[in-house]
Amino acid sequence: MARATQELKSTQQPAMAQYGDGGKLPPTGPAAERRELEPSEKIPALRNVAPGVFVPFHEDILSKTDYPRDRIDRVKRILESIDYQREGVKENLMYLFEREKQRILLEAQEKEQELGLQDAKPGVHPAEVDATLRSMEAPAEPGCDYNIRFLPPLEPHRSLATNLSLRDRTVQGLLSLVESGVADLNGYERHINGIRDYYVDCLAKEVARIEAAGMRPEERGRAQVAEAEM
């Protein structure tokens, strides 16, 4: 048994040693086919905007010594931090959207260079352009309300066909990015406004409580009546 084991080892060692690097086998599959990434591949695709809500501190909280003096001061600092967070998140989101726009454009340029110039669709006829300009320059109808009461949300992924040219698909991707970006910005604005309104209300109640504590009983009663009538 020991002799058979020794023979097996002797037959395996030369085969492993010929590869070098400690007897490791050479990489196969995707690892063996590594290539230099294209510029668009170096930019990660935008899958989620959650990383945009993280904003770095603008001061060293560990060495901070000026703590809030009272509850009013604490709420005021909370409101300041909310405003700072709001602007920081907006900047982060705009950066993510701008980065995704660059990725879409780079990817389209790379595919166009790879596939070659495609047949361009004919442009708008000059007669249609003239008719559109005349309609835009025409005076308004007296008594006609031109205000747009309701504007349905843009759905570029449904409004365009699937068999699109490369450039049309790029435009579709940019439209989707703009629409989703506006929705994300508006959604965050509603969220942060709700939080801010809560602390603004807390500040008003705390100020009213402090003011009421310094009043005489009859003044406090008149203030409560006036507040109830408002």
201's tokens: 């209300």
Q: From first to last of its 230 residues, what are the pLDDT tens digits of the chain?
A: 444 444 444 444 444 344 344 444 555 555 546 667 777 788 889 999 999 999 988 777 777 778 888 899 999 999 999 999 999 999 999 999 999 999 999 999 888 888 776 556 667 788 998 999 998 898 888 888 777 666 666 665 565 566 778 888 888 899 999 999 999 999 999 999 999 999 999 999 988 888 877 766 655 566 565 556 65
Q: Return d(Cα 78, Cα 202) in angstroms, integer.
A: 11
CB 178 within 8 A of CB 101: no
> Which residue ranges make up each domain of the chain?
67-116+154-194
Reported as type and span, the H/E element at residue 7 is: helix 2-17
Helices 166-213 and 71-115 sit at what angle, rounded to 10 degrees? 180
